[in-house]
Amino acid sequence: MRGFRSPHLLDIASLGRQDILQVLDAAEVFFEVSRRPVRKVPTLRGKTVINLFYEASTRTRTSFEIAAKRLSADAVNMSVSTSSVSKGESLYDTCKTLEAMHPDLVIIRHQASGAPHYVASKLRCGVVNAGDGMHAHPTQALLDAFTIRRAKGTLEGLSIAIVGDIAHSRVARSNAVLLRSFGCDVRVVGPRTLVPPRFAEAFDVRAFDRLEPALEGADVVMCLRIQRERLSAALLPSLREYSRTFGIGAAQLALAKPDAIVMHPGPMNRGVEISAEVADGPRSVVLDQVEAGVAVRMAVLYLLAGEAERPGVEAEGAA
């Protein structure tokens, strides 16, 4: 298997369909690896992967860390609270410092949109965007695509409703770009305060302010987390009202196709954007997403840090 055309994974928009399918296909292999008794392959032995997290995120960081470790890479976590970042060091200096440690990959999560692009321009090694501001979360979109493909057998031509805080969501953006490139009918829906006026134009999707038309005939219902700080910014009057108007419960899910799946990038606010009944119900694939996350991130790390022309991983499997 060959590596990516780009040494980085910064956003979905810079991937082609072939790149996306390459990640998903590689992830299928690692998905099986993660279900073996010994869940470790020597693929990235001797490689150093640094997790540079400027935003708290236990799940994504852990997912990347497990992915790196299952590939036998040396994974190191740098988080805001334990590094010089909290002392106000510039990203420029942080990059110079990291560079001196000769990492093979840097995985960055940052509150500023575009920060991973900046870091990639400063480092000689590969950079993986683990979420930047409101811009992109490419591995989330890839793991969502992986989950959808497993559940639906294909990505082509599906109807996908993304519900909630579209405005602030890098998950919505990356998913919109990825799913549109497979010809999906992508609908975004939420109160108008949370759906930017130009979103439909910017991402070539359909925007709705009512659940019914957005969910009708949907193959996939993707809920987004509602952040409490949206209340103080006068974007929502209350979580209660949000839940009543845009929360996904059994009645809302009934608007979608009978075999529609429900997704959530986590962490969930049960009773706000998704009811407990739906979250734990038979159509929820939330935990499949978490499992897919590790496999997809293994695939990404492998494609970016692995040797080009390296033989397939099955041959190297340690099991």
- Per-residue contact flags (x/-) with another protein for residues 185 to 224, judged by CB under 8 A: -----------x-xx-xxx---------------------
Q: At what angle do helices 115-122 and 91-100 cross, to 10 degrees?
A: 40
Number of residues this chain uses to bind another protein (CB under 8 A) = 24
Q: How far is the CB of 113 from another protein (least distance, A)?
A: 4
Residue 134 found at the interface with another protein (CB under 8 A): yes
- Per-residue contact flags (x/-) with another protein for residues 234 to 253, judged by CB under 8 A: --------------------
Residue 165 found at the interface with another protein (CB under 8 A): no
Q: How far is the CB of 295 from another protein (least distance, A)?
A: 26
Q: How far is the CB of 227 from another protein (least distance, A)?
A: 15
- Per-residue contact flags (x/-) with another protein for residues 103 to 122, judged by CB under 8 A: -------xxxxxx-xx----
Residue 87 found at the interface with another protein (CB under 8 A): no
Residue 311: burial class (beta carbons within 10 Å; 0-12, 13-18, 19+) = exposed
Q: Which is nearer to another protein, 111 or 245 (CB)?
A: 111
Residue 90 found at the interface with another protein (CB under 8 A): yes
Residue 77 found at the interface with another protein (CB under 8 A): no
**d(C-alpha 170, C-alpha 196), whole Å:** 13
Name which position in 21, 80, 91, 231 contacts another protein (CB under 8 A).
91
Give the length of the chain. 319
Give the rounded distance of the alpha carbon of 254 from its chain centre: 26
Which residues are near another protein by CB under 8 A? 90-92, 110-115, 117-118, 132-136, 170, 173, 196, 198-199, 201-203
